[in-house]
Amino acid sequence: MTHRILIVEDQADIRKLIRMTLEFSDFELHEAADGETGLEQARTVRPHLMLLDVMMPGRLDGFQVCRSIKADPDMRSTLVVMLTARGQSSDVSAGEQSGADAYLVKPFSPLELIDRVEAMVAQIPSD
């Protein structure tokens, strides 16, 4: 089974780094540059996993998008990894309260990213 991953990140260079890191695995990759677009794409694409930046321009930050995903009965099983430059315990706590399944603090290494993603998709039951 090919897992669908949605990358929601406003910085194009970070999005590209994530895509380049993951495209060697058997993932179907989708991208969005802000929270609103990310939420729309999540409803359309139905990703198994989302890599979601916390701080983005626009009306929705990553925490708000995560809460929306986890509140939607059709999407609540989507795994959400928050990506942030802010790794204080209060930020991690806010991520947990919004329903995030994991947290990666920038800068993260490509190896750390692929290890986290592969470990998480391994937990997803085949559909």
Yes or no: say if 84 and 55 are a contact pair by the CB < 8 Å rule: yes
Delimit the domains of the chain by residue range.
3-121
- Identify the pLDDT of residue 84: 85
Strand positions, DSSP E, 17-99? 27-32, 49-53, 79-84
DSSP secondary structure letter of residue 108: -
Residue 86: pLDDT band (50, 70, 90) is: confident
Across 64-73, average pLDDT: 97
pLDDT surpassing 80 at residue 53: yes
Using alpha carbons only, give the angle 45, 48, 52 rounded to the nearest 5 degrees. Answer: 85
**pLDDT in the model for residue 88:** 76
Of all residues in the chain, the percent with pLDDT exceeding 70 is 98
pLDDT category, 127, cuts 50, 70, 90? low
pLDDT in the model for residue 82: 94
Fold of the 3-121 domain: Rossmann fold (3.40.50)
Q: Say if residue 16's pLDDT is above 60.
A: yes
pLDDT at 68 over 70: yes
